[in-house]
Amino acid sequence: MSASNPKRIFLLSPANPAGVRGRIILNEEAQFELALRFRREGLPLGELFSFISGLYFRGKLAYARAFAQVPAGVAGVMVITACQGLLAADTVVSASDLQRMIEVPIDASDSRYRAPLERETRKLADLAGDGCEIVLLGSVATPKYVEPLVSILGDRLLFPAEFVGRGDMSRGGLLLRHARAGLQLNYIPVATAVRRGIRPAKLPKLPAQLP
């Protein structure tokens, strides 16, 4: 492994399954193709959360898949969940799995969320090894992700410096642009970074052909 091309795993913050789109896909009377697939065979978590969240999660997933570089046997794109710690983005989940996520708040003081997240983060850190960077694609302005992750990963936990001051939709658009262009953002340690800042200029509208 060269210093210019380090191994890198991405942790994606979750979609909100209790929102409008989460309720839509859980509706047993929904007849659109994705809902039918979900009821019949489940969906990969990344695909499910992309539907629920829209641009922001779609941007995180596209970016992480474009730039993950992982040791053998380790998933490069992991999703933070409300009650199962970290799950690979390709993990197939069912309606009952999603319902359980709705029942547990993403709150660092709630052991139902924090204990599985810390357990799975320790496992991931051991599997990845010391030379692998771990990048959080999610909010660092609140403790809900930062506290549990930094307590285990310390300075190994990084995030894109360009996220500071941006809202969710702006982050999603930024990530999609960089994934398409093949250009990575600048990663800095969460533990020592200034996590709030002036809002950057608005991004130009995304071209329609972007996924």
Give the strand order in the sheet containing 157-160.
86-88, 77-80, 7-12, 132-137, 157-160, 187-189
Other C-beta atoms closer than 10 Å to the C-beta of 51 total 20
| Tokens describing residue 51 | 């539907």
Q: What is the pLDDT of residues 151-163, one digit of tens each?
A: 999 999 999 999 9
pLDDT, mean over the chain = 90
Taking the model in full, what pTM does it have?
0.89
- 135 and 160 Cβ atoms separated by less than 8 Å: yes
